[in-house]
Amino acid sequence: MNTVLRNGRILAGEDFRDDVAVVVEDGRIVAVLADDDASLQAADVQVDLGGGWLMPGFIDVQVNGGGGALFNNQTDVDALRTMMSGHRRFGTTGMLPTLISDDAEVMARAVQATRDAIAAKVPGVLGIHLEGPYIAPARKGTHDAGKFRVPDADEVRMATALDNGVTLITLAPERVPVETIRQMVANGAIVAAGHTAATYEEIRAGLDAGVSGFTHLYNAMSPLQGRDPGTVGAALEDPHSWCGVIVDGVHVHPASLRVALAAKPRGKVFLVTDAMPMVGSDSPAFELYGEVITAVDGVVRNAAGSLAGSALDMATAVRNTVQLLGLPLAEASRMASTYPARFIGLGERYGHIAVGYAADFVLLDEALQVRATWIAGQPEQA
C-alpha cells in the first residue's frame, strides 16, 4: 500500500511548500510530487493535512524519562516504550533514552534493554545516551557523585556494546584519559563533553581525541571568560563540533543562545529536552537516587536547588526557538530533526522530507501544536 500526504505546508527543501505532496510506501518516502500530479489519485490512502505544517519528525538525543517512567529506575523495554509514547504526542519520532550516572550493572541493563527494544522494533528508539558517570564532581548538577569513576577497559567495552543502534556518551574530558576517549570512538560511540570543569586546553585535547559534541551547552560546564575560555569558549570556537541546547527559557538565557547560534556554523546547534518523567504524564514528581523531585511552575530542581533535567517537550522547544530566539519555523524544525540526525550519524535516513528517507513526520497546526505524527509511515493522532 502507498499513502499520499497532501494539502499541507510541507518542509521539502529549504522552506515550506504548499504545492507538493509526499508519497509513502513501506515506511519510506518514495516520491515528493507536485500536488496536482495525476498519478497521486491512484494512491491507496489519501491523507488531507488540512493546511498544517508537515516537517520531519523530531529527534531528541537526551531523554531521561517520559510518560511517568525514568530510565534509571526502570531499565527495560517497557520503560522505553512508555517513554517514547509519552514524547511522541509532542512530535518526537526518534530518541536516545538517556541514563544518567549510575552503577555499571545498571548501565549494562540499560544497554541490553536498548538492544532488545530496537530488535523488537519499538517505534522511535534509535540508541542510547550514557550521560556520565565519567564526569566532574564540580559540575555534577543533579548527578550522584558517588557513582563517578574512570572506566577501565572492561567498562569501556560494556558502555560501547550496543550493536544495533547509536551510542552517545557524555563525559568530562579532564576526567577520562585521551586514550580511553579514542577507544570509545574506535568502538563506534559518539562522545560529547558535558558536566565538565575542563580548561580550554583540556577540551581541545578531548576534541583532538574524538569528542564531537557538547551536552546541553552552557549548563554544567566551565564558562567563557575573558582570560579563561573554558568549555563554553572551546565549544563556540570549534567549527566542527555540535552543541545541544535546552530552549526552555530557564536553562539558558535567550541572548546566550543567540550568541551560540551566531558563533557556530549553521547546523551545528540542535535542540534537546533533557526531559524527565513528567513529560507526557499527569504527575509532576518522580524519584531519582531515592529523592523525590517535583516540577514547580514547569521548572525541575532537586532539594539542593540544582536543575534536575526539564519538563520540556520538543514541540515546545521548537515554539520557543521561534518565539524566544526569532528563528524561522523551518530552521527551528531543522534544529529538532535534521541537525540532531546528523550529529548521531543518521543524517542519511532521518531529518528530511525527501526520497529515500524514513517516513517520520510531525504535523503542527497554526498555533504550532502537534496534531499527528508518523513513524515509519504509521500515523498516530496527538
Residue 326, Cβ density class (10 Å: 0-12 exposed, 13-18 middle, ≥19 buried): exposed
- Mean residue pLDDT of the chain comes to 97
Distance CA 224, CA 140 (A): 18
Dihedral sign for Cα 119, 122, 125, 130, please: negative
Whether the pLDDT of residue 110 is over 90: the answer is yes
Residue 84, pLDDT score: 98
List Cβ neighbours of 337 (8 Å cut-off, separation of 6 or more): 55, 56, 57, 58, 59, 350, 351
Whether the pLDDT of residue 205 is over 90: the answer is yes
Asked if 102 is an active-site residue, the reply is no
Distance CA 10, CA 159 (A): 39
The answer to whether residues 251 and 216 touch, using CB atoms and an 8 Å cutoff, is: yes
Please state the length of the chain. Answer: 382
H or E segment and range at residue 7 = none
Query: pLDDT tens digit string along 234-245?
Result: 999 999 999 999
Whether the pLDDT of residue 298 is over 90: the answer is no
DSSP 310: B
Q: Which band of pLDDT confidence, cut at 50, 70 and 90, is reported for residue 90? A: very high
Q: Which band of pLDDT confidence, cut at 50, 70 and 90, is reported for residue 304? A: confident
Q: Which band of pLDDT confidence, cut at 50, 70 and 90, is reported for residue 303? A: confident
Question: Taking residues 272-282, what's their average pLDDT?
Answer: 96
**Which grid cell sits at 276?**
524527565
Query: pLDDT tens digit string along 26-61?
Result: 999 999 999 999 999 999 999 999 999 999 999 999
**Which grid cell sits at 332?**
527551528
Q: How many other C-beta atoms can be found within 10 angstroms of the C-beta atom of residue 225?
A: 11
- Triad 167, 171, 175: Cα angle to 5°: 140
Q: Strands, DSSP E only, in 64-182?
A: 65-66, 69-70, 92-100, 127-131, 166-171
- pTM for this model (two decimals): 0.97
Residue 382, pLDDT score: 81
What are the chain's domains? 2-55+353-381 (2.30.40.10), 56-343 (3.20.20.140)
Query: pLDDT tens digit string along 113-151?
Result: 999 999 999 999 999 999 999 999 999 999 999 999 999
List Cβ neighbours of 130 (8 Å cut-off, separation of 6 or more): 98, 99, 107, 110, 159, 167, 168, 169, 170
Residue 380, pLDDT score: 95
Query: pLDDT tens digit string along 222-264?
Result: 999 999 999 999 999 999 999 999 999 999 999 999 999 999 9
Query: Which entry of 60, 238, 274, 360 is annotated as an active-site residue?
Result: 274
Residue 240, pLDDT score: 98
Whether the pLDDT of residue 162 is over 90: the answer is yes
Question: Taking residues 74-84, what's their average pLDDT?
Answer: 98
Place of cell 563540533: 241
Q: Which band of pLDDT confidence, cut at 50, 70 and 90, is reported for residue 1? A: confident
Whether the pLDDT of residue 306 is over 90: the answer is no
H or E segment and range at residue 269 = strand 269-271
H or E segment and range at residue 301 = strand 299-301
DSSP 181: H
The answer to whether residues 159 and 183 touch, using CB atoms and an 8 Å cutoff, is: no
Distance CA 312, CA 346 (A): 24
Whether the pLDDT of residue 297 is over 90: the answer is no
Q: What are phi and psi of 277, to 5 degrees?
A: -60, -20
**Percent residues over pLDDT 70 in the chain:** 100
Based on C-alpha coordinates, what's the Rg of the chain?
20
Distance CA 240, CA 221 (A): 19
Residue 103, pLDDT score: 98
Residue 345, pLDDT score: 98
Query: pLDDT tens digit string along 328-364?
Result: 999 999 999 999 999 999 999 999 999 999 999 999 9
